[in-house]
Amino acid sequence: MLVFFLGFMINREHLCSSNHPFVTPIVPHTIQSITHSSLAKMTFEGKIYFKNIDYAAKDFGNRYHLMPSAVLHPKSVSDISTIVKYIFDLGPSSELTVAARGHGHSLLGQAQAHQGIVINMESLRVSEMSFHTGKHSYVDVSAGELWINILHESLKRGLAPKSWTDYLHLTVGGTLSNAGISGQAFKHGPQINNVYQLQVVTGRGEVATCSEEENTDLFHAVLGGLGQFGIITQARIALEPAPKMVKWIRALYSDFSTFTNDQEHLISSANSFDYIEGFVIINRTGLLNNWRLSFNPKDPVQANQFTSEGKILFCLEVAKYYNPEESNHIDEEIDALLSELSYIQSTLFLSEVSYVDFLDRVHVSEIKLREKGLWDVTHPWLNLLIPRSKIHEFAQEVFRNILKDTSNGPVLIYPVNKSRWKYGTSLITPEEDVFYLVAFLSSAIPSSTGKDGLEHILTQNNKILNFCGRPHLGIKQYLPHYSSLEEWKAHFGAHWEVFHRRKLTYDPLAILAPGQRIFRRTTAFGLQ
């Protein structure tokens, strides 16, 4: 009966978003005034700002610009708990919502709160990083901490987290709210697999510690939970001994089946590489020459004879971690692994870099793009999780019929093994044990009406999504975005009831993460 009663407290209709995301909805001035005056009277260890907060209405996607009423810069978990509890106590008559914002790398306004409160999580400093070494080493960190900072601090102790994202200048809370998938996920699972404990502020303003042993349902709900059940304020991250060096390798394939067979072979091998990814190359010229900036060809003569013009090619990208004292036999291990693969021999390129340089490789590109003014453009990215049994059907339609070139940004493609992932989290994946992550990481050139313009890329993405919508494919979105509640229900499938029950339990007034546009803020019923 309690669940039945609480069910009335969430208007489960989707929060409609405009087809013109740059247009900010208009809210009566009286609501803004009341919000300002009430919040201005509150006391925080940190500070709350009402002016010069435009940055909180922007993100990496650069498509949704929704202005909040205020931005809180917390200095303690108590600051976050206080403001959430205050809004919760206002009851369903209030329309205030709260969004936790990390490094602003969301794509579609997921960390924005229109006329609500944005919490700048990078301001939160629960304590200095606290390291524990032993059989199960770990570090306790603030959820607003960047992964790149954790890397540098843990390396001072010869340790490092097990699983990464490709880009490290993201906050812990942000990636754990989604999953954190990269080329190590086949081996260690995503980042949500490598967390021992969380501290969370629920939608009721309550502070809770959760783990596999304590408040287990909340622990699983928050991991991959899109911010719907609580704001992560602290995390205990699993660590392992850190390597110092990396052998970084690329090779090309012209046949998709051969490419995927080799990728799947590598992720299922007992002794394999430590990182396995791949990407698609369509209609690119001078490809191997570009690689020479960071890689060396295994056979320079053969590499000079290879041309990529007009072809659809697939690149395998792998890495092997090691320490200098292992250098005598690491090349033998790599040669043995490569001998089992069927790549185009003339396209084998190798590089040797430090562990830090490898993990932080995307930041090098960021610096170059910022210098050219091309980092803060619009990024209409599309991330998909595709069952192994359907990857060939997907590739045939998308890579040969829909996607005409890959000059607007990389197209990643690599398999992961779900059997090694944590069961029971909020993350939704295809039903099969092996599935592929395919990520279209496009950048749109401002004011362009051509193939590199936003409208063209969005049209292309919609064609891909329309194809993916065929029920027999079983494809899921990663970093999902949908335009109706029915689509969200379809995304969660059999897991929807659990997801909805958790929302009723931990955020019954739908205060948290309004930018995900799953639940509408409660306005009809009171809470008892």
* Same-domain check for residues 112 and 200: no
Distance between CA 249 and CA 263 in Å, rounded? Answer: 14
For every residue of 27-75, DSSP letters joined together read --HHHHHHHHHHHHT---SSEEE-SS-GGGG--TT-S-----SEEEE-S
E-state strands within 323-359: 349-354
**Could you give the angle at which helices 485-492 and 496-506 cross, rounded to 10 degrees?**
110
Same domain for 217 and 274, yes or no, is no
> Which position has the token pair 């891909």?
464
Residues 101 and 177 in one domain: no
Could you tell me if 283 and 406 lie in one domain? yes
Kindly give the confidence (pLDDT) of every residue in the chain, 528 residues in length, as a single tens digit, with 9 standing for 90 and above. Answer: 333 333 433 443 333 333 344 444 444 444 556 667 788 899 999 999 999 999 999 999 999 999 999 999 999 999 999 999 999 999 998 999 999 999 999 999 999 999 999 999 999 977 789 999 998 999 999 999 999 999 999 999 999 999 999 999 999 999 999 999 999 999 999 999 999 999 999 999 999 999 999 999 999 999 999 999 999 999 999 999 999 999 999 999 999 999 999 999 999 998 999 999 999 999 888 888 889 888 999 999 998 888 877 789 999 999 999 999 988 899 999 999 999 999 999 999 999 999 999 999 999 999 999 999 999 999 999 999 999 999 999 999 999 999 999 999 999 999 999 888 888 999 999 999 999 999 999 999 999 999 999 999 999 999 999 999 999 999 999 999 998 999 999 999 999 999 999 999 999 999 999 999 999 986 433 332
CATH code at 317?
3.40.462.10
State whether 114 and 75 are in the same domain: yes
Same domain, residue pair 150 and 99: no
Residue 482 within a domain: no
Output the pLDDT for position 204. 98
The set of residues, in sequence order, having a beta carbon less than 8 Å from that of 393 and lying 6+ positions away, is 473
Please check whether residue 484 lies inside any domain of the structure. Answer: no
Residues 164 and 89 in one domain: no
Last residue of a domain, one of 241, 265, 290: 241
224 and 256 belong to one structural domain: no
Largest Cα–Cα separation, the chain: 76
Q: What secondary structure letter does DSSP report for 209?
A: E
What was the pLDDT predicted at 53? 97
- Does 177 share its domain with 232? yes
From 207, 225, 241, give the residue that closes a domain: 241
Residue 167, amino acid: Y
Which structural domain, as residue segments, surrounds residue 73?
A: 29-123+506-516
Asked whether residue 83 falls in the same domain as residue 163, the answer is no
Is residue 7 domain-resident?
no
Is position 487 within any domain?
A: no
Domain total of the chain: 3
Cβ atoms < 10 Å from Cβ of 322: 20
* CATH number (domain holding residue 55): 3.30.43.10
Are residues 131 and 159 in contact, defined by beta-carbon separation less than 8 angstroms? yes
Rounded to an integer, what distance in angstroms lies between the CA atom of residue 387 and that of residue 433? 8
d(CA 144, CA 378): 24
Q: Specify the pLDDT at position 17.
A: 38
- Assess if residue 15 is contained within a domain: no
Question: What is the Cα–Cα distance from 443 to 323, expressed in whole angstroms?
Answer: 37
> 409 and 309, same structural domain?
yes
Per-residue three-class SS string for 442-493: CCECCCCCCCCCHHHHHHHHHHHHHHHCCHHHCCEECCCCCCCHHHHHHHHH
The catalytic residues are: 105, 166, 277
The reply to whether 170 falls in a domain is yes
pLDDT for the residue numbered 337? 98
229 and 308 share a domain? Answer: no
